[in-house]
Amino acid sequence: MKFGVVVFPGSNCDHDCHWAVSHVLGQGAEYVWYQDRDLTGLDCIILPGGFSYGDYLRAGALVRFSPVMGAVREFAENGGLVIGICNGFQILLEAGLLPGAMMRNKNLRFICEYIHIRVERTDTPFTCLLKEGEVLKIPIAHMDGNYFADETTLATLEANGQVVFRYCSPRGEVAEEYNPNGSLENIAGICNSEGNVLGMMPHPERCCEALLGSEDGKKIFQSIVYHLSGVGV
């Protein structure tokens, strides 16, 4: 199994994602430079967090012109697994691989802290080892994580069950007071209608070891490995 971690100028969670899948999960992983166009031999592409192109213009906006994104799009269209985390999620939105947009957090400040998310779907490659309604303790760290979509898009997302994670209380209760950034319907992560592209604001790679305060993020990467190989890790 081989993960490809894309490195854009300004990516800063690339090392963390690499560490999580290679060191913690013991899977193969390699960095993919943003000017590469060849994703041969890779089973899952991770678009890591950070500030690609300094977030200039708009978070994630400039990346879609980089050479690797053409290859990522093709990879996704052929059913390959793509997970965008934080800035990676913003990139997927800007590149049109997922619907909707990110606005600035409702308090207009950067927020870094552990929060909780509820698992809404367990039939995706990213959540197949999780239980429906399971609560994950996981950190967020972003300035623009306030998910927005127009009413039609939102209705389609909900109807198709494309909302994968929602912000919630430690006990799984989804309510406005547990929404850190103002996202519509407490949305923390969505997938495309085929289910092979996931975008999420929280950082699973930051909580794969007990030492760091939570191991819940590991379950997401383990799900990917299980889905691809049919074997648990």
Partner 1 sequence: MQGSITPQMIKDHNLTMEEYQRIVEILGREPNLTELGIISVMWSEHCSYKSSRVHLKKLPTRAPWVIQGPGENAGVIAVDETWAVAFKMESHNHPSYIEPFQGAATGVGGILRDIFTMGARPIASLDSLRFGTLDKPRNRYILEGVISGIAWYGNCIGVPTVGGEVTFASCYDGNPLVNVFNLGLVRQDKIFKARAAGVGNPVIYVGSKTGRDGIHGATMASEEFSEDSEEKRPNVQVGDPFTEKLLMEACLEAFQHDWIVGIQDMGAAGLTCSTSEMASKGGVGIEIDLDKVPQREEGMTAYEIMLSESQERMLLVAKKGTESKVIEIFKKWGLDAVVIGQVTDDSLVRVWHKGEVVAEVPALCLTEDTPVYDRPQEKPAYLDEVQTLEEKDIPAPPDMKKVLLKLLGHPNIANKRWIYRQYDHMVRINTVVLPGSDAAVIRIKGTDKAVALSSDCNPRYCYLDPYLGAQQAVAEAARNVACSGALPRAITNCLNFGNPEKPPVMWTFARTVEGMAEACRVLETPVTGGNVSFYNETMGKGIYPTPTIGMVGILDRVEDRVTQGFKSPGDQVALLGENRGHLGGTEYLEFIHGKVAGKPPAVDLEYERRLHRLLVILAREGLLRSAHDISHGGLAVTLAECCISDETPVGAWVELKDHIRPDALLFGEDQGRVILSLSPENRGKVEVLAQKHRIPFQALGTVGGDTLTISWPQGKLESTLKELIETWNRGLTQWLEK
Catalytic sites, residue numbers: 86, 203, 205
**Does residue 182 interact with partner 1 by CB under 8 A?**
no
| Part of the chain binding partner 1 (CB under 8 A), chosen from 47-55, 71-79, 117-125, 186-194 | 47-55
Quick one: 7 or 101, whose CB is closer to partner 1? 7
Taking CB under 8 A as the criterion, the residue among 2, 9, 22, 226 binding partner 1 is 9
The footprint of partner 1 on residues 119-148 (CB under 8 A) is 139, 141, 143
Q: Does 175 bind partner 1 (CB under 8 A)?
A: no
- Read off the tokens for 26: 């013991």
Residue 132 φ/ψ, nearest 5 degrees: -65, 135
Phi and psi angles of residue 87, each rounded to the nearest 5 degrees, phi first = -60, -30
**Residue given tokens 């290679």 in the structure block:** 22
Cα 223 to Cα 88, 219, 229: the distances in Å are 19, 6, 10
Report helix, strand or coil for 177. helix
State which amino acid sits at residue 180: P
Burial of residue 171 (CB within 10 Å: 0-12, 13-18, 19+) is exposed
Q: Which range touches partner 1 (CB under 8 A), out of 4-12, 73-81, 150-158, 187-195?
A: 4-12
Residues that bind partner 1 (CB under 8 A): 9-10, 12-13, 15-16, 19-20, 23, 49-51, 53-56, 109-113, 139, 141, 143, 203, 205-206, 209, 211-213
